[in-house]
Structure formats: C-alpha cells, structure tokens
Structure 1
Amino acid sequence: MRPILYRRLGAFEIWVLSDGELWLDGGSMFGVVPRVLWAKLAPPDEQNRIRLGLNPLLVRAGKQFILVETGIDRKPGEKFRRLYGLGEGHPLLDQLALLGLEPRDISLVVHTHLHFDHAGLNTRWEEGRLVPTFPKARHVVQKQELEDALHPHERSQASYRPENVEPLLEAGRLELVEGQAELLPGLRVLPAPGHTLGMQVVELESEGQRLAYTGDLVALRAQVPLPYIPAFDLYPMTTLETRRRLYERWLAEGYLLCFAHEPQNPLARLAVGEKGYRAEGV
C-alpha cells in the first residue's frame, strides 16, 4: 500500500491517502489505444489487468477535515475482492487512524462520482444494518450523478451500488449541487462530464497555489494524452471536450494535479510538447 503523502497548499493542509490497490483490464483502461503502446506505460498481469491506486484526498481547512472520495466497496465479499485484486480490511480508515482521526471527525465528503471504487466506504455494516461510515459528514455530489446512480441503465448498472447511496439519502446526508459550486472558501467543484454525465472535479486554491483532483476525467498519469480515454467512459467525445477545456486552464494557471488511480506518485503537473499533453512528476 502506498504511504500517505503530505503537502501544504497555501492555508490548506492535504494528505493523499491510499485505500489499497485495484486491478482492472488494461485494454478497457486505455480504450482505442493499442496494447503495444499502453503496455509500455502500464505493464499488465497474466489476466491483462493493470495495477491502479485508490487515492482519496484528505484536506484540512481550519478546524474542518474534508475527504474527497471514500475508496472502494469491499462489502460484496470474497469473490468480488478476488475479481478486482483487493485486500481485506479498510486501508483508508487505517490511514485516517494513523493521522489521529476517526470517521466522525470528517465534516464533509466530496464525490467526483458515485461508482463503487470511488464511493465504496460511504456506508458500512454496523449491528446488522448499513449506516453512513462518516456519521457527521455531508456528502456533496452533482444532482445528475445521483439521478444516474439511482436509475442506472444496462451500460452503467455494474458500476453503481445502491447500498453506497440509499443509506445516505435515508440519513439526510446527501447534498446536491448543479454545476460549479464553492463548498468552502477556496474549495470548489466543477462539472467534468464524460466518464459519467454527472462527473465533477474538485479544485483547491489558496495563497496563489492550486490543486485539482481529477477523479476519472483522467485517472492515471499515463492517460493524460487527449486520446487516451478509457472504454469505461460512457461519453468519450464529451470526455475529450472536457479535457481540452480544463487542461488549458490547469496548464495556464499552474495547477498541481492529483490522480485518483495513479499507483505510484499521484501528484503531477501538466506539460505540453510536440506530441501534446503529458504529466510531469513533482
């Protein structure tokens, strides 16, 4: 498991946590890009799977602790864990404990989207029933994303699990936004459709420093080139348009990027050259 990464960003303190790792089909992660190209960037195993990180972001803003994403769902059981190469336990909760934090210390959870590998620890079993893992936190998501999670179609239903969403609704812990919204001073969400229609990215800005948490708009450093769009994206041409729009601003304004699934160093900056956009490590 990747160790905790710490960084100051102006008045914010940030920790890039790890909820372990996930193994997914490499061809699906790189879409139309030929295997001979992507395999050099992300070597596959004997099942053609590549190793992905699970990288929730913890932010301290004054006395508040904000969690961006809650890691992967391990509730479905052993067969599910084997399919995706998951370990047991809850590494995210273990890393919070290392920082001296309990789930009740989180006051805000921000979701890029509600797929099981990004919102899996929204809930957990307690005395035979599903309850919110972070009992004092409000969970912020785009209205469109909640609609799609509650009414999935044949292409998306495998990615959404109602047990990660419905208990939050019942507890009154879901807060919906439509479009760009500032959740706290210097902390905002922006629509980033493509992977799903309701995808959003999370941006932090303080004292001239900026960071964007990219979710699955661009999940890996190797996916930064514009055509490297996963087959998992429901609207790939929309992903392309969203990337062009946000890349231009992130590059011009010197944003630090945090990639949700990068297994090594998830922090990088955008650069551009003769072959287009690329990620440069920090």
Structure 2
Amino acid sequence: MQRYRLGNLEVFFLQDGAFRLDGGAMFGVVPKVLWSKVAPPDEANRIPLTLRPMLVRVGEKWVLVETGVDDKPGEKHRRIYAIDRSTNLLAALKALGLTPEDIDLVVNTHLHFDHAGLNTVRDEAGRIVPLFRRARYVVQRQELYDALHPHERSRASYLPENIEPVLEAGLFEEVEGEAELLPGVRVVPLPGHTLGQQGVVLESEGQRLVYTADLLPTFAHAPLPYIMAYDLYPVTTLETRKRFYPVWAEEGYLVAPPHDPTYALGRLVLGERGYTLVPV
C-alpha cells in the first residue's frame, strides 16, 4: 500500500495481488524484440502485472476505484493467469481500519474481470452478492450495456457473476460522459480498450491526478504505438491518447496506471522519441 496526499484528498494505492498476461497480447503490433526489453516475459511468454485499486478519502467519504480480481472463477482461471492474491484488497482495507461497509462509492473504470472481480463475493450460503452493499457502483452506461451484451471477442473478459448481482441489487449508477462524483473527483471517458472505459481525475489545491484505466496499463505502455491487442478499438485508443497525453504532460498531472508491477505514480514526459512515463 502506498499513500499520497493530493491537496486535501488522501489517496491510497492498494494491491489486489499480481497476475501475468501474454506479452505479445499486451503490446499488440510492437515486436517482441522491443517490448521484451521493458517487460521481460516468463517461459510461457507472460509478463508480470499487478492489480492496483485506488482508494480516495474525500472528507468523510471513501471512494474505491476498481475492485481487482477474485477467486470466484476457480483454480483453472487462477492458473491460466498466474493470479497471486497473497496481497489482496480486503486485507489492504482492513489495514486501514476499513470494511466494505465503509465504502461510499465504487468506480468501475470498466467491467473486465481484473477490474471488477470483487464487485461481488459468495456469501455463507454460496450465493453471489454485492460486496460493497452501501456503495453506488459508478459505470459508464455504454460499458454496462456492452458488458451485458458481450460478443465473441469480449465474452471472456466480462464475467456475469461480477455484474448481474450488482444490477439486480440496483447498485449501479450509470453516467454518460464526464461527471463529477464528489468535489475534486470526476470520471472522464477514455474509450479504446472498451468503448465505455472511463478514467478518474482527482483535483485539489492546484494538483491533479489521473487514474488511466487500461488506456495506459503500465509504465512500459507510454509510447503512443504500444497498444494492447486486448483493446477492442485500438485506433480509438490511439486517438484518445493523442487527445489526453498533451494535457496530462503539459499540465503536470500525476499519472496512475492500474497494472504496473513496480510503480504507482509517474509523470508523462515528451522527448525526442515520443512519450515516456517517469516514476514519481
């Protein structure tokens, strides 16, 4: 867990374990000879990643961005993705003296299993129920629609057990486009990985931070062409990066990617060879 003070906001970067995904898929059309220098793969060609939810204290309110992954899919799923949850979200909350009942808002940047896995849990009777029962789950309307109507290419990433119990409980709050959730906390559309993906922008006392979702999954993905094959709309990802990167770089935003295995925060820098993300 890492803590950061952003003006009058308290920001905590938690961990919900680690996992691995295929390096070729993570870097799309970028040749392995290039991406392997910044993300060395294992014997199965998978690169190390982390699950890094962000927790924000806004006055007396607690906002949780992402809920990580969880164990509902079973051992085969855990083995395929080399999921290691020896550090996990619930333990991180407990270390802060919090329980799921203390969370007021959950922001799902999108509803893939590695970002929304702990939206729900199995209760003592084996039923799958929302974990954050007092919270509103904020999601873009487009994202919720696409998650409920997946196609052959997206179906493996959208697990109904992470979505339908929240919908049935009436806990989803759908937004369309940019929206302020609390003073200093807003969501902004960042389409490309999915059409309904959103990021979270924090602003306080002249300081700004953006949680990028999978527009920028790790520090190694900062160059404009380093776009995942997992992105459903890679050209849209490129257009979104070209729109936001100059703003984030020129205005000194702190940038928080969700999956970097080493660093939680950086700043975008434009050099002769393009953009890089420099650790803070």
Q: TM-score, normalised by structure 2?
A: 0.98
1:65-144 alignment to 2 at 5 Å? 65-88=62-85, 91-126=88-123, 127-144=125-142
- The runs of 5 or more residues in structure 1 that have no matched partner are none
Q: Give, as a single letter, the amino acid of the residue that structure 2 aligns with 1:279.
A: L
**What is the Cα deviation at residue 90 of structure 1?**
7.0
Contact 2:17 2:86 in 1 (8 A): no
Give a deviation string over 1:173-221, Cα, whole Å, max 9, x none. Answer: 0000000101111111111110000011110000000000000001000
Equivalent residue number for residue 162 of structure 2: 164
Q: Give, as a single letter, the amino acid of the residue that structure 1 aligns with 2:94.
A: A
Equivalent residue number for residue 152 of structure 1: 150
Contact 2:15 2:87 in 1 (8 A): no
Residue 7 in structure 1 maps to residue 4 in structure 2: yes
1:48-63 alignment to 2 at 5 Å? 48-63=45-60
Q: Give, as a single letter, the amino acid of the residue that structure 2 aligns with 1:26.
A: G
Q: Give, as a single letter, the amino acid of the residue that structure 1 aligns with 2:14.
A: L
The CA RMSD measured in Å over matched residues stands at 0.9
- The runs of 5 or more residues in structure 2 that have no matched partner are none
Equivalent residue number for residue 26 of structure 1: 23
**What is the Cα deviation at residue 88 of structure 1?**
4.9
How far apart, in 2, do the equivalents of 1:58 and 1:197 lie?
24
Q: Give, as a single letter, the amino acid of the residue that structure 1 aligns with 2:15.
A: S
How far apart, in 1, do the equivalents of 2:143 and 2:155 lie?
13
Contact 2:16 2:85 in 1 (8 A): no
Percent of aligned pairs sharing the same letter: 63
Structure 1 pair 88/59, CA: closer, same or farther in 2 (3 Å)? closer
SS, match of residue 27 in structure 1: helix
Contact 2:17 2:85 in 1 (8 A): no
Equivalent residue number for residue 244 of structure 2: 246
How far apart, in 2, do the equivalents of 1:203 and 1:163 lie?
28
Q: TM-score, normalised by structure 1?
A: 0.98
Candidates 200, 203, 207, aligned match of 1:202: 200
Candidates 209, 218, 228, aligned match of 1:220: 218
Contact 2:18 2:85 in 1 (8 A): no
Contact 2:199 2:213 in 1 (8 A): yes
How far apart, in 2, do the equivalents of 1:90 and 1:157 lie?
27
**Aligned positions, number:** 279
How far apart, in 2, do the equivalents of 1:89 and 1:267 lie?
22
Equivalent residue number for residue 264 of structure 1: 262
Q: Give, as a single letter, the amino acid of the residue that structure 1 aligns with 2:89.
A: L
**What is the Cα deviation at residue 265 of structure 1?**
1.0
Structure 1 pair 203/159, CA: closer, same or farther in 2 (3 Å)? same
SS, match of residue 113 in structure 2: coil
